[in-house]
Structures are given as C-alpha cells and as structure tokens.
Structure 1
C-alpha cells in the first residue's frame, strides 16, 4: 500500500477515536510493544536529530535509523523505542502526517519489532547503539563526608603493625547525680515541714484542752447556783 494512504488511514482512525466516546481504542492492540515506525524522513537527519524531535512525548531508549550497507546513508525511515509504552500513542497521534523539512512523515505502531543482526560493515557506534540504546544511564551518587563528620582517634596515629581493640560507642551521659549542697537543702526543707506539722498539732491539742476546761467550769457553776436556790427555799419555808 502507498505510504501516503497508510498515513491517511492512521489519521482517520485517530479522528474517529476523538469523536467517539468508546473506552477502548485501536492503540490497545499494540500495548505489548513500545516501538514505532517513522517513514518519509529527510535523508540528512541523524539519530540525534530524530531523538530531539520525537522525545517531545516521552523518553527515547533506542533508535534504529536504517542506512545503506555500502554507503552508510540514511534510507529515510527508522524505528524508535520509548521508555513508556503510552508515549507511542501520543507520538502516533501527534506526529503522523506532519512535515519535517518539507517532507510529510508517516508514524505508526510496530507490533513485533525484531532487532537487526550485527554485520561487519557497521561501525562500533552503531553496534553500541543497538545493544545499549540511547537512554541516559543512571549516575552513581557517592555520599560526601565533611571534615566535621570525621573524628580523629589514637588509631589514626599508630603504625599499621599494632592493632587496637575495637572502640566502644560513646553515648551521652545524663547528669543525674546530685551535689551535696542540693541534698542538704532537701533535708532542711523536710525538717522545716516536719516542725510546722508538729506546731500545728500542739496548737490543736491546746485548744481541745481549753474547751474541756471551760465545759467543766460551766458545769460546776451551774451546780453551785442550783444548790444555793434550794437552800434559800428551805429557809423561806422555816420562817
């Protein structure tokens, strides 16, 4: 089929999908592949140029630009692999049918991509690109130790022949031991509290004694007054 008709058919599918409200899409049949096909490229584009253009919709991990075996010139089409498979849907919907350097490109899914076989005429850079891809490699971050974190010990200044036992960890000591002055003050406070309690107890006992004595005196007075009255009555009767 003509490449232009293929490009138009893919564009029709994308337009129909936008109009319909279906949850499933025609992209679902390519969920197992993260590769796309790009045709109609300008012959002057290199792998780096292709990565710059197509990395707008996701991280690219591999590019296979098909070149002539004898001359090494580009044939105008390539295969691109994305890190995230969902990026292929965006690339097909947005890049298919656009123009690059006055050439209309065709972008479509690839269901079963096969890695090309190594040939003797390929240079080392191309072979390395096929094996490792073009994705950025993770950088190992080493922890930076400042001078403040380091602590000098006696072992740093001793010859290697002498071995010291392992050093025990140093833990912060809580200041829980009280001084003699603090203990004396505590004893004084306790004595003062005890003396106050004794004074209160003595005052209460004195008050109780006074009350009892007052009650006795009132009872005696009442008894004497009653006796006097009785004697006066007797005298009146005798008269």
Structure 2
C-alpha cells in the first residue's frame, strides 16, 4: 500500500516526510518525483508504511493539515493508469501542428503548386 501526498512545498525532503509520517507508524519508503529539466521536487510524493493501520491513521490526521505553509492532500495512492490510444497500443505524443499545413500562405494547402 502507498499513500499519495500532494500540495507539498518544493523545498520538502524525504527526511521531512519521514519525520512527519513516522509519528503514525514505521515509514518503509518515501518517493519524491523530481522534474526532469530542473531537478526540483514536483510538489507531490508517495509514502509507504509498515501497516495499513498506520497508513489510515496518517491519512486521517494529515489530510488537509497545514504543513510548510501548504494544506496537504493525503489519500491512498491509486495505481498508475496506462494510457491507451484506442488501437491496442500505448498513447504517443508529439508530431507538431498537423492542422495548419501551410494555411498561413493565403489558402495554400501545402500540396498544390503555383505556376
């Protein structure tokens, strides 16, 4: 089981979260995802605790509590959903602006030639 902790301060550390959650039981793991470009904490994290009773107590006590100047959002973490493109594969992003294929030149559709 895992607990989602949202609306975290960008200056929070794994040790900070461990200290707060350890008041409700033994913390077994803390994850703080970081932004790929900046390396900065993304404002949410996950905490795993030794027992479900400890998780329930932490969620009840900390959801909505103000910590480091922010109101925390604490609940049971949901499994990560895999996006589907509708064709049996994973959804891909990218490509560019396919909807404006040359239309910025007075009606030229990008395929016809002017002679």
| TM band (smaller chain) | 0.5 to 0.7
Q: Which of 95, 106, 109 matches 2:76?
A: 109
- The residue aligned with 2:61 is 94
Largest Rg, 1 or 2:
1
Structure-2 change in CA distance of 1:99 and 1:82 (3 Å): same
| Separation in 2, partners of 1:93, 1:36 | 11
Q: How big is the shift at 1:57? A: 0.4
The equivalent of 2:52 in structure 1 is 85
The 8 Å contact of residues 35 and 113 in structure 1, kept in 2 or not, is answered as: no
TM-score for both structures, normalised by structure 2: 0.65
Unaligned segments of structure 1, at least 5 residues: 1-33, 115-239
Return the alpha-carbon distance in structure 1 between the equivalents of residues 80 and 50 of structure 2: 15
Query: Normalized per residue, which structure has more strand?
Result: 2
Compute the RMSD of aligned alpha carbons: 1.5
In the superposition, the TM-score normalised over structure 1's length comes to: 0.32
Distance in 1, Cα, partners of 2:77 & 2:43:
17
Higher helix share: 1
Name the structure 2 match of 1:167. none
Give the 4+ runs in structure 1 shifted more than 4 A. Answer: none
Secondary structure (helix, strand or coil) at the match of 1:79 reads: strand
Q: Which has the higher contact order (CA 8 A, sep 6+)?
A: 2
Hey, what does 1:47 align to over in structure 2? 14
Q: How many correspondences in the alignment?
A: 81
